Structure 1
Amino acid sequence: MSYAGRLTLVNSVLNTLHNYWGSIFLIPKSIIKRIEAVYRNFFWDRGTEYNRAPLVAWHTICTSKKEEGLGVRNAELGNAASVGKLVNWIYTKADRIWVLWVDHVYLKGQDWNSYEPPPDSNWNWRNICKTRKLMAMGYVGDQWTLYVKGYTVKAGYQLLQGQHPPVQWYKEVWDSWFLPKHSIIGWLIKHEALNLRDKLHRLNICESNMCVICEKETETHQHLFTRCEYSRSVVLLLDTWLSSALNGNAQGLSNLMNICRMIQVTVWYTLWMERNKCRLYLAIRRPEILVKEIKSFICMRVKMMMQVQWPVSNEHSFWLRLSDTV
């Protein structure tokens, strides 16, 4: 299973298993760390135990894609945001038996903003009061005013996580036109996190730091994907193909920028796969064969994303003609 497939399972399955208990009380930090360890180990190594070093720090992965992460929910912050819903019920005096019970047993008419729990009170109640302090900046009086009208777990999570400046390369890697597994490799390239020979040599894992493909320069991210003779040959052939098809006229092609970015991400992924095959089998395909494979994929993907219908528009007609040149 690719990184993209494992990321989907982490977000849709693993990240929801503790949601029930996490919406009732703050889970102890030791349990939270164990939960996140399962997420991390499964994402990087398909298992629940630690077998290899992560390529990117987990706190980075838990930021949004625009902020250089993968959008995985931080378990501790997500837990606090879920408990924040209970805090909001008390603020709004929701029509719930639990709220009436809390007011009768603990608050007894006291102001919720200034309330301090007694030392001998219930552990769960003290944690709810602790969460109230974390959420305090989102309230004006008794009203939640941050991000949306009315409290939601998503808004509480955004408050706790804070905002970080977006990265400039976000659109180069993430787009609905790209295959997820291509985007993940592009994301790793932008972080310079792939296990290339320059890194492995520094860690004394491999003897040589020279490029697996050309064996002329040190194998770095910049070399493999931009400076290597093999990579440049692939890019040049694709550039010639697209330029000759456009013939200096790109008017009317509204999706051209998306397609150019998709070609770039696809080239990165294909070169990475070809590099690994070269290392394993000590052989590499000619650039022309690799380019033909990329062109075929691009044309197929474009047809699918543009949902070509009849009668064919000028833009659809262009990409249909382009596929005939593969």
Structure 2
Amino acid sequence: MGARKLSYAGRLTLANSVLNTLHNYWGSIFLIPKTVVQKIVNRAPLVAWNKVCCSKSEGGLGVKNAENWNIATVGKLVDWIYKNADRLWVLWIDHVYLKGQDWHTYIPPSDSNWNWRNICKVRGLLSAGYMNNVWQDARGYSVGSGYAWLQGMHPPVQWHKEIWDGWCVLKHSIIGWLIKQQALNTKQKLFQLRLCDNDVCIICGAATESREHLFEDCQYVLRIIEQLEQWMHLSMTGQNALLSKLQKKVARMAKLACWYTIWLERNRGRLEHRITRPEILVQDIQRLVKARVQLLLRGPVMIADQHWLKKMQIQIS
């Protein structure tokens, strides 16, 4: 199956599991040439790569920055030499290249092995993280600590828990993340890029199809939100301090499912030139929420939550 046939969630899973495993192996042996790294990231994404490679708490997807991860993995070899680790490879390096010279100030000959010169290059990139040949982390150097140091710190976003709740379907979370990043190709954006004839909302045809209109102001969408909130007996924002932990989880799950369904319906309307009645979409979201709650709910449930679930016609064992 080609990558183009995968959903955003499928591509994220593929990158974080299969492709990253391959990168871990080869990236720990030598610095991958920049031309190869550029082929990985040269396609313009909906969101800038430096943002995508931030942690989820910092507003990213947690995808590994290929270049920095490569440097951090090779940095393990650099650290072995710094610590003069009791390894055959370190003894061989000292015998063939260092020959008793100080690793901190060593300069590789221009005719030395390409891979060895790259290891020395990584030493220079990580040198600021060492003090007296000791890595700044008290636990010593690790690939994770080296990568975090290279990435640097970014301010956390307030909405990451709303998007990345473990109860939410991953493909729904991805659409929610794109909404927060203002990265969805709404008609307003496409019209500004001269990729469509007008910027009118596909669903209602009454206003400009901006992110705010499509997910907050469109009358069609408001009818869906109103019916879902009546069914749940609470606001889908889940911000009320009086709500239980379960209610907040279900509210977040329903909100993301609603966003995903609206975006799916909008795209279907663009292709098929017809819009489904909002009541049908509400029923689809309700079925999904019920199934997720029954699947994921474990352990004892508070009596108040039991009554609340009963009102929503969700059966629990």
TM-score > 0.5 by shorter chain: yes
Matches within 5 A, 1:140-155: 140-146=131-137, 149-155=139-145
Q: Report matched runs for 1:164-183 at 5 Å.
A: 164-183=154-173
**Of 272, 278, 296, which aligns to 2:269?**
278
Deviations 1:156-176 (A, max 9, x none): 111111111112221221111
Alignment of structure 1 residues 86-165 onto 2, 5 Å: 86-146=77-137, 149-165=139-155
Deviation of 1:212 (Å): 0.4
Structure 1 residues 189 and 251: CA distance shift in structure 2, 3 A: closer
Structure 1 counterpart of 2:168, which letter? F
Q: CA deviation at 1:85?
A: 0.6
User: In the alignment, which residue of structure 2 is the partner of 1:71?
Assistant: 62
Task: Choose the corresponding residue for 1:238, options 228, 232, 250.
Answer: 228
Going from structure 1 to structure 2, the CA distance change for 1:322 and 1:133 (only over 3 Å counts) comes to farther
Length-normalised TM-score, structure 1: 0.86
- Matched residue, 1:192: 182
The match for 2:15 is 10
Equivalent in the alignment of 2:280? 289
Deviations 1:253-290 (A, max 9, x none): 33222222222111111111111122222222222222
* Cα distance in 1 for residues equivalent to 2:227 and 2:78: 60
Structure-2 separation of matches of 1:100 and 1:9: 39
1:226 match: 216
Residue in structure 1 matched with residue 311 of structure 2 by the alignment: 322
What is residue 3 of structure 2 aligned with on the other side?
A: none
> Is 1:265 aligned to residue 270 of structure 2?
no
Q: Is the 8 A contact 2:68 2:147 kept in 1?
A: yes
8 Å contact kept, 2:290–2:314: no
- The RMSD of aligned alpha carbons is 2.4
User: Secondary structure of the equivalent of 2:245?
Assistant: coil
Matched, 1:32 2:37: yes
Give the alignment's TM-score, normalised by structure 2: 0.88
Q: Which runs of 5+ in 2 are unaligned?
A: 1-5
Decide whether aligned partners of structure 1 residues 208 and 36 sit closer, same or farther in structure 2, where only a CA change above 3 A counts. closer
User: Which has the larger displacement, 280-289 or 161-170?
Assistant: 280-289
Q: Distance in 1 between matches of 2:51 and 2:243?
A: 39
Q: In the alignment, which residue of structure 2 is the partner of 1:19?
A: 24
Distance 1:250 1:304, change over 3 A: farther
The code of the aligned residue for 1:145 comes to Q
Counterpart of 1:209 in structure 2 is 199
Q: Partner amino acid for 1:293?
A: D
Residues 300, 316 of structure 1: CA spacing in aligned structure 2 closer, same or farther, 3 A cutoff? farther
Structure-1 separation of matches of 2:284 and 2:187: 26
What is the CA-CA distance between 1:320 and the residue it aligns to?
4.0
Structure 1 residues 169 and 244: CA distance shift in structure 2, 3 A: closer
- What's the % identity of the aligned pairs? 54
Query: In terms of mean alpha carbon deviation, does 131-140 or 80-89 score higher?
Result: 131-140
- Structure 1 residues 235-257: Cα deviation after superposition (integer angstroms, max 9, x where no partner): 11122222279xxx996833222
**Structure 1: gaps (5+ residues):** 41-52
For residues 300 and 69 of structure 1, the distance between their equivalents in structure 2, rounded to whole angstroms, comes to 28
Q: Is the 8 Å Cα contact of residues 296 and 323 (structure 1) preserved in structure 2?
A: no
CA separation in 2, counterparts of 1:211 and 1:251? Answer: 36
Q: Distance in 1 between matches of 2:168 and 2:243?
A: 22
Partner Cα separation in structure 2 for residue 116 and residue 322 of structure 1: 73
Q: Take 1:239 and 1:222, find their aligned partners in 2: how far apart are those partners?
A: 19
Paired residues of 2:37 and 2:67 also in contact (CA < 8 A): yes
**Closer, same or farther in 2 for the Cα pair 1:28/1:252, shift >3 Å?**
closer
Deviation at 1:304, TM superposition (A): 1.9
Asked if the contact 1:308/1:316 (under 8 Å) is kept, the reply is: no
